[in-house]
Amino acid sequence: MNRRTITISTLVALGVLWLTLLGCNLNREPPAPTSTRTPWSTFTPVAPPTSTPVPIATDTPAVTEQPTRRPPRETDTPTPTLPPTPTFTPTNTPRPRPTRTPAPTAAPMKGDTWDFEAGFVDWVCPYGDLTMGGGVGLGWYSLNPANPDQPENRWHSHFSENKDPITVHSGQRSQRISLEQVACDAYLLRTINTVPDHTYRVEAWGWFKSSKTNPLLYIGLDPTGGTDPKAGTVQWTVFSGSTGDSWLKGTAKVTAAKSLTIYLKVLRPVGESLLYGDTFFDDVSVWDEG
Average pLDDT per 10 consecutive residues for the chain, totaling 290 residues: 58 70 54 48 49 50 54 56 58 62 72 95 78 88 75 70 96 92 87 97 95 90 96 96 89 96 91 74 96
Query: What is the predicted pLDDT for the residue at 210?
Result: 87
Query: What is the predicted pLDDT for the residue at 92?
Result: 66
If you write DSSP's letter for every residue of 172-222 in order, what string do you get? S-EEEEEE-SS-EEEEEEEEEE--TT-EEEEEEEEEE---SS--EEEEEEE
Structural domains of the chain, with CATH: 112-288 (2.60.120.260)
Query: What is the predicted pLDDT for the residue at 38?
Result: 45
Average pLDDT, the chain: 77
Strands (DSSP E) contained in the chain are 120-122, 135-137, 141-143, 157-162, 174-179, 184-193, 199-208, 216-222, 235-238, 248-255, 259-268, 279-288
pLDDT digits (tens, 9 = 90+) for 220-272: 999 999 999 999 999 999 998 778 899 999 999 999 999 999 999 999 887 76
Query: What is the predicted pLDDT for the residue at 117?
Result: 96
Beta bridge partners of 204: 250
Query: What is the predicted pLDDT for the residue at 26?
Result: 45
Query: What is the predicted pLDDT for the residue at 34?
Result: 47
Contacts with 260 (C-beta within 8 Å, 6 or more apart), sequence order: 191, 192, 194, 200, 221, 222, 223, 225, 254
Model pTM above 0.85: no
Query: What is the predicted pLDDT for the residue at 235?
Result: 97
CA distance 251 to 238: 8
Query: What is the predicted pLDDT for the residue at 243?
Result: 81
